[in-house]
């Protein structure tokens, strides 16, 4: 059955005349039906932990657009919460967490294998989706990469330069590495359980990988991704893994070889022609239309979409944005993108 799914065929290395397509944050605030369901849930975290409603918002963009894949509706910060961090969301400002900056903060965290009670509703969401999705739609699970999750756990919020995490990495490297290891172990357990609940592909989002330079990129972006991928492959050898070291730049080169991921997702700061020559040579790539086109639309959207499809047409490719779609996007522009990919519109 799986080999008929366009997404899984691309991840297995097949070059397709029309690439499969999905979109980061495709279940989100740009859709009126999402806003209605979120209002019903009460708040963002309640939506993440309400399996029926989380499944509903995951299905909404599939019903509307017929994407080739659905990505589980959840958040990368559920893992820190499951490890014992306090987590809440401030309207208009984003997430806030209790911080891990000293040994006693780390000592208060739960062990990696104690996360599943908290995360059980996420697994239930996947089970619902396994039954509810169309037979040709691939179900994607995901988690944040250890470095990215650590930046939030150390700073207690998103930061422009991940400064607090870099400071801890330099000032108390033993504590920093212990935290990274705890997150890595939890992420392996979490993604493995997602697969057991029905995820056919998993994606590791390293949103802040671009702030790691030199050896730090190897140690804290490449190594944890390799560990997670190897552990998952041992337990679930047929399940593909997508890695997304956002804004990695030159570090995209060789990332698949070093980590073992089946596909490298690309942000839109890299040129598709360059990425085809330097990254796609190692296997499947995903990306990388600028999400701003979903706001502005028009001929520029069509031209850039065509250029990306053309650039990656010589190898396995999954069409996507280079970043998540933004709340101010026009749903009609999403349809235009899909039509351009599928029909050369």
Structure confidence at residue 145 (pLDDT): 98
**Contact indicator for 306, 300 with CB cutoff of 8 Å:** no
Structure confidence at residue 258 (pLDDT): 98
DSSP state of 201: E
Which percentage of the chain shows pLDDT scores above 90?
Answer: 97
Average pLDDT of every residue of the chain: 97
Q: Using the predicted structure, report yes or no on whether residue 305 has a pLDDT greater than 50.
A: yes
Which percentage of the chain shows pLDDT scores above 70?
Answer: 99
d(CA 33, CA 37): 6
Q: Where are the beta strands (DSSP E) in the chain?
A: 69-71, 87-90, 94-97, 138-144, 201-206, 241-245, 263-265, 284-289, 317-321
d(CA 340, CA 169): 45
169 band by pLDDT with thresholds 50, 70 and 90: very high
Residue 338 makes CB contacts below 8 A (sequence gap 6+) with: 21, 65, 66, 67
d(CA 156, CA 86): 9
Q: Using the predicted structure, report yes or no on whether residue 228 has a pLDDT greater than 50.
A: yes
Burial class (CB in 10 A: 0-12, 13-18, 19+), 308: buried
Q: Phi-psi region for residue 100, left (φ > 0), alpha (ψ -120 to 50) or beta?
A: beta
Backbone angles phi, psi at 128, to 5 degrees: -60, -45
Q: Using the predicted structure, report yes or no on whether residue 118 has a pLDDT greater than 50.
A: yes
d(CA 143, CA 81): 13
Does the predicted TM-score (pTM) go above 0.85?
Answer: yes
Structure confidence at residue 4 (pLDDT): 86
Tokens 């859709």 correspond to: 31
Residue 173 makes CB contacts below 8 A (sequence gap 6+) with: none
Q: Is the dihedral of CA 220, 163, 242, 87 positive or negative?
A: positive
d(CA 150, CA 87): 14
Mean pLDDT of all residues in 137-146: 98
Which tens digit of pLDDT belongs to each residue from 28-48?
Answer: 999 999 999 999 999 999 999
Structure confidence at residue 324 (pLDDT): 97
Structure confidence at residue 2 (pLDDT): 45
Tokens 């296997």 correspond to: 283
d(CA 328, CA 345): 24
Q: Is the dihedral of CA 260, 143, 28, 327 positive or negative?
A: negative
Q: Could you list the active site residues?
A: 25, 29, 38, 75, 152
Q: Using the predicted structure, report yes or no on whether residue 222 has a pLDDT greater than 90.
A: yes
Per-domain residue ranges for the chain? 2-343
Which tens digit of pLDDT belongs to each residue from 233-279?
Answer: 999 999 999 999 999 999 999 999 999 999 999 999 999 999 999 99
Structure confidence at residue 3 (pLDDT): 66
Whether the ω angle into residue 288 lies within 30 degrees of 0, i.e. cis, is yes
Which tens digit of pLDDT belongs to each residue from 184-208?
Answer: 999 999 999 999 999 999 999 999 9
Q: Using the predicted structure, report yes or no on whether residue 345 has a pLDDT greater than 70.
A: no
Q: According to the CATH classification, is domain 2-343 in 3.40.50.2300?
A: no
Mean pLDDT of all residues in 81-110: 96
Q: Using the predicted structure, report yes or no on whether residue 137 has a pLDDT greater than 90.
A: yes
């Amino acid at each position: 059955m799986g080999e008929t799914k366009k997404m899984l065929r691309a991840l297995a290395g097949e070059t397709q005349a029309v690439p499969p397509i999905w979109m980061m944050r495709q279940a989100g605030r740009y859709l009126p039906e999402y806003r209605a369901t979120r209002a019903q849930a009460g708040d963002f975290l309640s939506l993440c932990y309400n399996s029926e409603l989380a499944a509903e918002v995951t299905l909404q963009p599939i019903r509307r657009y017929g994407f080739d894949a659905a990505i589980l509706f959840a958040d990368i910060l559920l893992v820190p919460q499951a490890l014992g961090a306090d987590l809440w969301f401030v309207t208009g400002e984003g997430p806030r967490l209790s911080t891990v900056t000293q040994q006693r903060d780390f000592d208060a965290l739960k062990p990696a294998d104690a996360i599943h009670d908290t995360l059980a509703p996420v697994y239930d969401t996947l089970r619902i989706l396994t039954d509810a999705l169309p037979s040709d739609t691939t179900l994607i699970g995901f988690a944040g990469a250890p470095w990215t999750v650590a930046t939030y756990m150390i700073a207690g919020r998103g930061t422009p330069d991940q400064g607090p995490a870099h400071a801890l990495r330099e000032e108390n490297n033993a504590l920093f590495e212990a935290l990274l290891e705890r997150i890595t172990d939890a992420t392996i357990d979490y993604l493995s359980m997602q697969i057991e609940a029905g995820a056919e592909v998993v994606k590791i989002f390293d949103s802040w990988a671009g702030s790691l330079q030199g050896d730090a990129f190897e140690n804290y972006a490449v190594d944890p991704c390799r560990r997670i991928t190897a552990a998952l492959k041992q337990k679930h050898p047929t399940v593909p893994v997508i890695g997304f070291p956002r804004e990695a730049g030159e570090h995209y080169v060789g990332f698949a070889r070093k980590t073992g991921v089946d596909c490298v997702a690309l942000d839109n700061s890299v040129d598709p022609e360059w990425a085809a020559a330097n990254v796609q040579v190692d296997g499947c790539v995903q990306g990388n239309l600028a999400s701003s086109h979903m706001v502005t639309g028009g001929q520029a959207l069509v031209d850039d979409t065509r250029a990306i499809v053309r650039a990656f047409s010589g190898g396995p490719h999954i069409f996507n944005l280079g970043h998540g779609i933004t709340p101010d996007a026009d749903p009609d522009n999403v349809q235009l993108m899909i039509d351009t990919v599928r029909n050369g519109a």
